[in-house]
Amino acid sequence: MTKTKLLLISITLFSIVLSVKPTYAQQNDSTKYSGETWFGFQTIIPLGDLAKKSGINAGVGLNFGLIFTPVKTNENIQVGLDLGVGYFGMVKDSVFKTNNNFYTINFLSRVKGPAQGRVMTYMDVIVGTKLFIIATHYNNNLDNFLSDNADYTTLDSKTSSVFSYGLGIGFKVLPKDKNTSGMLDIRCTFLKSGSMMYDTPYYTEKWVSSTNIVMPQISYLHIFKGRKR
């Protein structure tokens, strides 16, 4: 998908969502909330050339973030920060181990869609960076831990980063009680990025033509409420 196509899709979805008013907020809640924060779990699935060159089928991790409404008169639009931590596994021998880690740092703009019953949809436009980090440590065992002589020194590390952008589509399961501040949030993000030199856990370099990733996520979301109307 080219940048032009992605932009056209974003504009179209924005137009559709903005044309519909969020019925749940109007009919069921007499308070405005200024923001939300969330914490949850994610699966990280490399696509295309990244999956082929890295040999990674999937990783696991955590996702957390903060979002708020910058314009009080328009609750449809929100902006915020989204952070992700991932783990793709390790390689090890009797002496050393090398962890294969993944991080995302993203800014996002969210447009909320209409609520159907207790389900409210939304779409995110995401811009940020991906970080691929390998780090080598001593392979401490249980005896090292119990005898208090474990060494967690980082012996070597390598970081690769790439600019990233994409879309997120999700929905929130709204609580039955309007005074409840927590809810379930389910989202799937697609983060597109270009070429980079990927460093394997064996410290060998592989040129990757694209570093696209899909991340299904499930989170607990907490609402920060503002003053009553």
Beta-carbon-side half-sphere exposure of residue 44 (alpha carbons within 13 Å) = 24
pTM comes to 0.80
Q: What is the pLDDT of residues 108-162, one digit of tens each?
A: 999 988 878 889 999 999 999 999 999 999 988 777 777 777 888 899 999 999 9
Domains with residue ranges and CATH for the chain: 3-228 (2.40.160.20)
- The percentage of the chain sitting over the pLDDT mark of 90, rounded to a whole number, equals 62
- The percentage of the chain sitting over the pLDDT mark of 70, rounded to a whole number, equals 82
Q: What is the pLDDT of residues 164-177, one digit of tens each?
A: 999 999 999 988 87
Dist CA 98 CA 92 (whole Å): 6
Q: Which two tokens stand for residue 136?
A: 């080598």
